[in-house]
Structures are given as structure tokens and as C-alpha cells.
Amino acid sequence: MAQRIGNYTIKLDKQPSVLGYAAVVGKKEGQGPLGRNFDMVYEDTLIGQKSWEKAESVLQREAVKKALEKAGCQPSDMDGIIAGDLLNQCISSTFGLEPFDIPFLGVYGACSTMAESLLVGSMMIDSGAANKCVCVTSSHFASSERQFRFPLEYGGQRPPTAQWTVTGSGSVILGSSGSDICITEMSVGKIVDAGIKDANNMGAAMAKSAAVTLLNYFSDTGYDPKQFDMIATGDLGFVGSQILIELLSREGINLGDKYTDCGLLIFDRDKQGVDSGGSGCGCSASVLCAYILNGLKEGKLKDVLFIATGALMSPTSVQQGESIPGVAHLIRFNKISN
Amino acid sequence: MNISNKEYDELNKKISPPSHMFRNMCFAFLIGGLICTIGQLLYRLYVYWGLGVSDARSVVSVTLIFIAGLLTGIGVFDKIAKYAGAGTIVPITGFANAIVSPAIEFKCEGWVMGVGAKLFALAGPVIVYGISSSVIYGVILWLFTL
């Protein structure tokens, strides 16, 4: 059974294994610095579908298919699938995953959903409720734009703090054994409202929640950030990352050069016109499943903290003038040497 | 973590890069000015072709709306507007874009609940407050001429 360390950290007893993983993305992401790492890059952002929502469903479906293939598993081997996305009522997940015929749990944590699904999946494996399960999430630039902002062809200007929703999906197959990449510890984040009201500055809205989660984790475990090979936040972008570094340094914690952000890794900010960086559920999910897990597999990384961050707002709350609370969940991945 | 929302906002403002105000204003002036110059050229051309002053003005608007609609449809307008900002929003081109872009976007939801219901999602406020302010202006004008 899992153990609690301190106030917020969960130490997993069974240490769920990452049996397989895959990331599929759109054209812009494929042209970015991580282009070669993705399992599939779709040149057509509609993926031959009649709506952006259906295109996003295909992203999730293909990510799961590829991950199952790489794990050498069939959908019928899975005891559960834990998924979510940014669209109202999580329709990318439900419409995309229906053909697999796997027991489904929908989760919503905005852009932190990948970590949330891994948290739930790991607890299912650890408790014995599942032997194998799938964790998946996605986002699509066009489906997010139309739901949260403007029609795609609307001619508006983006402020430099804005972030670019990633078109992509990442999927992880977890099992009770069978791989040397394991999830060893986790921390469920709290809802933190820093009072930011600008929907064009999500990084700032989420940075405090990431700082709180990391601070709690380090205080629970007594670890030093230096001992990790990588500390990666989900989608804080340039602005959010800088705020996080500053907030933690005020608390006496220096994240050092091992710190990075998935929103900064996926795009080239200077050349791709994404302003503060990438965002969306698909941002942290696709970078995790294309870059971070590959690093662990190849042995370049052995101990990684993955902190997916989410902005818990809706178009309604923003229009009503409410501030944007954030949440950040932490997952520790280890490469176990035999 | 002891940081007040006020302190946090100060930190955010210190870190957030400011908008490129000067560059944006220059582009808005140049591209907005260019659109207006094209309008004036079209006006001269239509008058030269024998249209009356009032008709020529209407046809200029129609032409600019058509061009903006077409550029929106082929996915070019937003790329120009990214740099032009107010330069493309303020002239009638901005209004055309605000109508055509939701028409394209919400076609998936059908002609009634999609295109029909969402067509004025962006331009609606412009019409509401445009008409409201013209009514107020009319009342003021009427009071002065009593």
C-alpha cells in the first residue's frame, strides 16, 4: 500500500511501471525543437475530420494505439483508461476512446490533466485495483481557440505573455511490473489563487501553484533539487517559469539548471511566434511521452520530477471578472537499476 | 508561501515582457493608412467610372468588405492582422473579419445554431453600442436644434 510522507507526498509501494508511451502532434509541434522525438506528426491539423473536436479525438486515439503497440499490449489487457482534455465535458476523450472498449474514468485538471491521470492510474495499480491501465490526455490549438478565445481566422493581436495551445496528445501505459521506468512518488496539488485575472497570462496564474507543490514536496521529503536529473513543469512558459524560479529562491530553494518547462521545450519561441511558450494538456503530455520518458529509457535521465500545471478557469469565470486559480500535481519518475 | 496577491502581481509585472507598443502603433498607422488610401483610390476610380459621390462611397465599402471577407476565407487576414492590430480592426475590414471568421468557425454546428446564432458573436457588441451611441448622439443633436 502507498504511504504518506509528510503532509502532501505519497510514496508508492508497488512502483507502477511505464510499459509503453507515445506522443502524436500537429505540424507546428513537429517543426519545433522536439520534432524528431514524436511518434507521429500530422501535417493536416484537421486530420481529415470535419471538426477540430473530432481531430482532437483522433489524436488521443492514435496516441493510445501507438502506446499499446509499443508496450506490446492489446486494449483488452487494460483494466482502465484514465483520460481528460480541455473541451467542455471532455468530449475529445470520450469520443476518441470509445472504440477501445476499456473501462473509462474521465478526469479534469485543465493543463495538469496528464499528471492527474497518472496519479489516478498509479493509485489503481498500487492498490491492486488494476494490473494495467492507460493514462492519456490531449489538446488542440484550434478547438481550444474556438472554445476559450476567438474563431481561428479572427484577426487579433497576441500579447507577449500569451501562450500557444499545443496540438498533441500523450499516452502512457502503466503496469504493476515489467519495466525499469517507474513512478515512485507523487503529490496532489492544492488549488492556489494568486489573484491573476489576465487570461492571456496563464503562466503567471499557474506559477504559484507549482511553487506551492514543489515547496511542499521538498519540505515533506527533505530532498534537494540538485539530486534530480530534471525538474520539468508542464506549461508555465517563459513568464511562469521565471516567476516560479523567483518564488522558490525567495524560499531558499534554488532549482538550478536542471529545471525546465515543457512549454519552453516544445517550441522555439524566437522562430515560431508562440510568445511565452506552449500550453494545453497536450503540451506536458506530449513532451513527457516524447522527450522525458525517452530520456529515462535511454538512461540519460534517472530521476525526474514532472509537475503538470493547470489553470482552473472557464470562459464564463473570466468574463465574470474572476481571478484564475492554478493547480500543479507532481509525479516522480525513476529509472530503477537491477 | 507568504506572498500577497499585490506582491505577486508586482513580480508578474516585473517579469512579463511589455507589449511592443511602439512597433504595434507604427504598423497600425502604416497598414491602417494603406487601407484608407486604397479606399480613397477606389473612390476616385469609381467616380472616374461615372458613379455618383454617394454611390461611389457605398461601393468602396462593399469592395473593402469583400476583400477582407475573401482574405479571411483564405486564411490570410489574421496573418496581416497579427502585425497590423488596430490598423486592420478599426477600418471596415475589421468588421468584415469579425463577421466572416465566426461564420467559417461555427459552420460545424449547422446553419441555424452555428452560423446563424454565432455570426454576430464578435460584431454584435459593435452593433449594439454603435446603434446605442448614435441614438444618444441623435437626441443631443435634436436638443440643440430645438
The predicted pLDDT at position A338 comes to 63
Neighbouring residues of A185: CB distance < 8 A, sequence distance ≥ 6: A5, A9, A10, A11, A12, A217, A221, A330, A331, A332
- Selecting from B9, B82, B100 the residue whose C-beta is nearest the C-beta of A195 gives B9
Chain A with chain B: Cβ pairs closer than 8 A: 98
Please check whether residue B100 is in contact with residue B79, taking contact to mean a CB–CB distance below 8 angstroms. Answer: no
Query: Would you say residue B44 lies in a domain?
Result: yes
The predicted pLDDT at position B111 comes to 94
Query: Would you say residue B142 lies in a domain?
Result: no
ipTM: 0.91
B126 part of contact set with chain A, CB < 8 Å: no
Please give the single-letter amino acid code of residue B36. Answer: C
Query: Would you say residue B14 lies in a domain?
Result: no
What is the dihedral sign for C-alpha B51, B53, B54, B57?
A: positive
Query: Would you say residue B56 lies in a domain?
Result: yes
Residue B146 pLDDT grade (very low, low, confident, very high; cuts 50, 70, 90) = confident
The predicted pLDDT at position A305 comes to 98
Distance between CA B121 and CA B106 in Å, rounded?
A: 10
Q: Contact B105/A153, CB-based, under 8 Å?
A: yes
Quickly tell me which residue has 508496450 as its cell. A71
Please check whether residue A81 is in contact with residue A98, taking contact to mean a CB–CB distance below 8 angstroms. Answer: no
Domains of chain A (ranges, CATH numbers): 3-175 (3.40.47.40), 181-335 (3.40.47.40)
Q: Considering only CB atoms, which chain B residues are within 8 Å of A154?
A: 78, 97-98, 101-102, 122
Neighbouring residues of B58: CB distance < 8 A, sequence distance ≥ 6: none
Q: Contact B17/A194, CB-based, under 8 Å?
A: no
Please check whether residue A167 is in contact with residue A282, taking contact to mean a CB–CB distance below 8 angstroms. Answer: yes
Q: Contact B1/A251, CB-based, under 8 Å?
A: yes
- How confident is the model over B75-100, as a mean pLDDT? 93
> Which of B15, B22, B35, B88 is most worth mutating to test chain A (most A CB atoms within 10 A of its CB)?
B15
Neighbouring residues of B146: CB distance < 8 A, sequence distance ≥ 6: none
% of residues, chain A, pLDDT over 90: 98
Kindly report the backbone phi and psi dihedral angles of residue A157, in degrees, each rounded to the nearest multiple of 5, phi listed first.
-105, 145
Distance between CA A66 and CA A77 in Å, rounded?
A: 15
Q: Kindly state the cell numbers that stand for A175.
A: 503496469
Alpha helices in A251-298 (DSSP H): 262-265, 281-287, 293-297
Q: What string of DSSP letters covers B84-115?
A: HTHHHHSSHHHHHHHHHHHHHHGGGG-IIIII
Residue B90 pLDDT grade (very low, low, confident, very high; cuts 50, 70, 90) = confident
Q: Considering only CB atoms, which chain B residues are within 8 Å of A251?
A: 1
Q: What is the DSSP letter of A210?
A: H
Query: Would you say residue B137 lies in a domain?
Result: no
Q: Which residue segment(s) compose the domain that B58 sits in? A: 21-119
Q: Considering only CB atoms, which chain B residues are within 8 Å of A152?
A: 78, 101, 104-105
Show pLDDT as tens, one digit a residue, over chain A (338 residues): 899 999 999 999 999 999 999 999 999 999 999 999 999 999 999 999 999 999 999 999 999 999 999 999 999 999 999 999 999 999 999 999 999 999 999 999 999 999 999 999 999 999 999 999 999 999 999 999 999 999 999 998 999 999 999 999 999 999 999 999 999 999 999 999 999 999 999 999 999 999 999 999 999 999 999 999 999 999 999 999 999 999 999 999 999 999 999 999 999 999 999 999 999 999 999 999 999 999 999 999 999 999 999 999 999 999 999 999 999 999 999 999 86
